[in-house]
Structure 1
């Protein structure tokens, strides 16, 4: 059946990336709950946190290649996502573009399980230069997200942009290129700012 030309366009999700360094922060649970109550399409991406740190520590001891560690770090992100989904059951786990689209169409807040999509993306470099920030930007560009928000321990300097963030070490060096494929705004918030932003009705319908 052909698409209805008068139908409303499909909603474009807001990708929110939570850094792994936020694990253990007192406000993290409240932010997860706020995101889980969102009534607009929001897609949560997590960092690898201590699970990715374990991969970094194991690499020199075991003599692992960067390619192996890349795949293990993606699985570390998946572990964090599963942990966050357990803490906020309102978040719908999604592992494919179709699942993301269905959650967006139903205005259900979702959390990305990255292994299926990221491990199949042969264009992604298998290197520590690619972090979860760039993976969030890659995902946002791939699904046509309307916005990308990185929530970090430290905020970005006022008036700065992706290349400034990369130069200052706030994001990885590949991030600006991936961020350039996102049609909407790209921003960095501290946890405290994000908590205020996402609990004041900003994600309500």
Structure 2
């Protein structure tokens, strides 16, 4: 089973549809879970938090809603994909081939003690999900150029992944690939 996180910035780079098409075409016969990034919707939450000075717990919940909205966008673009909101539902769906889109449930994340800060973005949530579902592979698809020589700490330093990401990939049994969208779709 593969978890593929599609960065929210793919919506503005023009690469979202090609990435969804690539998954639809090249991952037939595999169990795949797509994790949506929050993109511009999550960026709007950051702006609102700066303006209104509310706490990270509320901002985190709003960012999860941004991911849910992106999941709906992905589903609208690929009606043949299914959506799932819970880990039990994902376990059922990934028991057989097919593509599911994860629409994260904030209550389930709270029960799992997921941190409610900006240190924990959709990248770390994808790693947490891959670990939770015992995925074979985690792929993060990004809009930015990624130097093949960079390790995870260098990716954190360059703000390619969030600061919690190294913690969530520790002792993981999945392979990790962090790729630029151009490379992913080629």
Pairs within 5 Å for 1:66-85: 66-85=56-75
Match of 1:123 in 2: 113
Match of 1:52 in 2: 42
> Larger radius of gyration, structure 1 or 2?
1
Runs of 5+ in structure 2 lacking a partner?
A: none
Pairs within 5 Å for 1:155-194: 155-194=145-184
SS, match of residue 35 in structure 2? strand
Tell me how many residue pairs correspond in the alignment: 184
Checking the alignment, whether the CA contact within 8 Å between 2:13 and 2:143 is kept in structure 1 is no
Checking the alignment, whether the CA contact within 8 Å between 1:141 and 1:181 is kept in structure 2 is no
Partners in 2 of 1:128 and 1:91 — Cα distance? 29
With over 3 angstroms needed to count, the CA separation of the structure-2 counterparts of 1:133 and 1:99, relative to structure 1, is same
Deviations 1:73-102 (A, max 9, x none): 011111111111110112110112222122
6, 9, 13: which one aligns with 1:25: 13
* TM-score for the superposition, normalised by structure 1: 0.83
Deviations 1:32-59 (A, max 9, x none): 1232343201110011011111111111
With over 3 angstroms needed to count, the CA separation of the structure-2 counterparts of 1:63 and 1:72, relative to structure 1, is same
Deviations 1:171-191 (A, max 9, x none): 111101101242021111111
* TM-score for the superposition, normalised by structure 2: 0.91
Runs of 5+ in structure 1 lacking a partner?
A: 1-12, 197-205
Give the Å deviation of 1:63.
2.0
Give the Å deviation of 1:160.
2.8
Match of 1:92 in 2: 82
Partners in 1 of 2:147 and 2:12 — Cα distance? 24
Partners in 2 of 1:97 and 1:118 — Cα distance? 8
